[in-house]
Amino acid sequence: MNALERRSVAALASVYAMRMLGLFMVMPVFVLLGEGLQGATPALLGLAIGAYGLSQALLQIPFGLLSDRVGRKPMIYLGLLLFAGGSLLAGAADSIYLVIAGRMLQGAGAIASVLMALLSDLTREEERTKAMAVVGMSIGVSFSVSLVLGPVLGSLWGLSGLFYVTAGLALVALVIVGRVVPTPRQHKASADALPARQMLVRVLTEGRLLRLDFGIFALHLVLTSLFLVVPVFLEQRLGLAGSDHWWFYLSVMATSFFAMVPFIIIGEKKRKMKAVLCGAVALLTLSAAALLLSGHSLVGTWAVLFAFFMAFNLLEATLPSLVSKEAPAAGKGAAMGVYSTSQFLGAFIGGALGGLLQESVGIPGVIGLMVLVLLSWLVVALTMPAPGYTTSFVVQLKEAADGSYGAVDQCLRGLPGVQDVVILKDEATAYLKVDRQHFDEQSLAGLAFVRQGSNS
């Protein structure tokens, strides 16, 4: 990457991380600290935890599409202001209903797709995958940090303090976007970043992608439900004060993160991704069920959560990669838009339904929901075809004299390793899905319609 790209990626990754840190920090402590709110019940506490997911799910794609019309930065400013406003509302609230409203307002700042589009505007095609990987890593780090910071800050400043810190992070992110993130000269309607209307129908009818969308839906449903249960276990079963939960989460997350790395390597390098995926879902299911059996043992509970988060981190890291590989050529933005919507919808339903079950049935009901959803996902994973090992490849074309690219499309499809081709005529660009083991970039060198030196 050049200096401008490094600056852009670092700044946007930090904005993304601050926003996700603010959303996640309340999760490990909300059930414990929210009990003092007026009108609080287990069902409403669960709804408050997951409420941000509903507005995120509804507005994720519209925000991305609107940024094409009014600009990236204005939509990011709007989203961060909504996020800060929701945080302030939740922080000032003494009623569970106002906290729910605040969480929904937080989620209304659904700027994930806009941030990715701005990242696309500011990076070259050949550096885009690397840039998006950096952003993905920042999200994973922010989640791990939130599980440590949440209990620490919650013990110092209470639930209101957590929300005020979140509002402060949003304002810092505003300054970074305004002062550090460059303003692009023009918007690139990149198929890698923004959901295109014409691609949404194809993505929503693609069976492989729908299975992965169900996977991220189930994963975040279970994650949100987990935090209705675990803080109660640690405090009531194990006698661990809320202010001490941070070291428990820190030890679990640090070790589980490193434990999952070898399995990612096996899945990618040995092309065993389906086996790794199914194994992780099975481990997640077993560890969720084992929560009921961990009893009053600190070591037993730690071991169960270590297994849970090793599988969770593995799935959280691999699912976006699989979506990217399974997405049709020129359809990655649409595929990731539906994927993100599924993720946030899972978080909402996990909190809302989990809270209802905790109030009516108790903790066994919540764990039963988690196990049932994970068993369903395991069946879906076991019956899905082995994922492909393709990657995106972009070819800049010379403009066709007659405006027709039919022969170009046919020629590109005939190249070894090319599995799909979509040509965007207005941009004179071809998006290819290729298997790197069989595709040779040099095969493009002799093609008269290819702009030499502009492929990625």
Please say whether the dihedral angle defined by the alpha carbons of residues 48, 50, 52 and 54, taken in this order, is positive or negative: negative
CA 251-309-360 angle, 5° bins? 110
Q: To the nearest whole percent, how much of the chain has pLDDT over 90?
A: 49
Give me the half-sphere count of Cα atoms (radius 13 Å) on the Cβ side of residue 126: 8
Name the least confident of 34-38, 384-388, 412-416, 425-429.
Answer: 425-429
DSSP 391: E
The C-alpha angle 48, 50, 52, rounded to 5 degrees, equals 90
**Residues near 206 by Cβ (< 8 Å), separated by ≥ 6?**
326, 328
The residue length of the chain stands at 456
Instruction: Identify the pLDDT of residue 387.
Output: 74
> What is the C-alpha separation between 76 and 111, in angstroms, rounded?
6
State the DSSP string of 144-209.
HHHHHHHHHHHHHHHHHHHHHHHHHHHHHHHHHHHHTSPPPSS----TTTS--HHHHHHHHT-HHH
C-alpha dihedral (191, 197, 203, 205), degrees to nearest 10:
-160
d(CA 244, CA 235): 9
Residues in a beta bridge with 395: 430
Q: What is the overall mean pLDDT for the chain?
A: 87
The secondary element (H helix, E strand) that includes residue 25 is helix 3-25
**Domains of the chain in sequence order:** 1-140+148-188 (1.20.1250.20), 195-388 (1.20.1250.20), 391-444 (3.30.70.100)
CB atoms closer than 10 angstroms to residue 383: 9
pLDDT tens across 107-120, in order? 999 888 788 878 87
d(CA 227, CA 231): 6
Cα dihedral sign, 369-373-374-376: positive
Average of per-residue pLDDT across 436-456: 73
Name the residue with higher pLDDT: 185 or 314. 314
Neighbouring residues of 356: CB distance < 8 A, sequence distance ≥ 6: 43, 46
| pLDDT (tens digit per residue) in 337-367 | 888 899 999 999 999 999 999 999 999 999 9
pLDDT band for position 402 (cuts 50, 70, 90) = low
**Residue 214, SS3 per DSSP:** helix
Gap between the Cα atoms of 119 and 72, Å rounded? 10
* Per-residue confidence (pLDDT) for residue 150, from 0 to 100: 94
Can you read off the two tokens belonging to residue 152?
Answer: 């620490």
Residue 408: count of CB within 10 angstroms of its CB: 21
Rounded to 5 degrees, what are φ and ψ at 181? -75, 125
The CA distance from 288 to 286, in Å, is 5
Name beta bridge partners: 38.
95
> What pLDDT score does 112 carry?
84
Contact 43, 356 (CB under 8 A): yes
Tokens of 302: 């730690």
Measured CA distances, 311 to 51, 81, 317 (Å): 25, 35, 10
Residue 129 scores a pLDDT above 70 = no
pLDDT of residue 296: 77
Question: What distance in Å separates the CA atoms of residue 126 and residue 120, rounded to the nearest whole number?
Answer: 11
d(CA 191, CA 210): 19
Q: Pairing relation of β-strands 390-396 and 429-435?
A: antiparallel
Interaxial angle between packed helices 332-360 and 363-383, expressed in degrees from 0 to 180 and rounded to the nearest 10: 150
For range 201-223, the mean pLDDT: 91
pLDDT band at residue 452 using 50, 70 and 90 as cut-offs: low
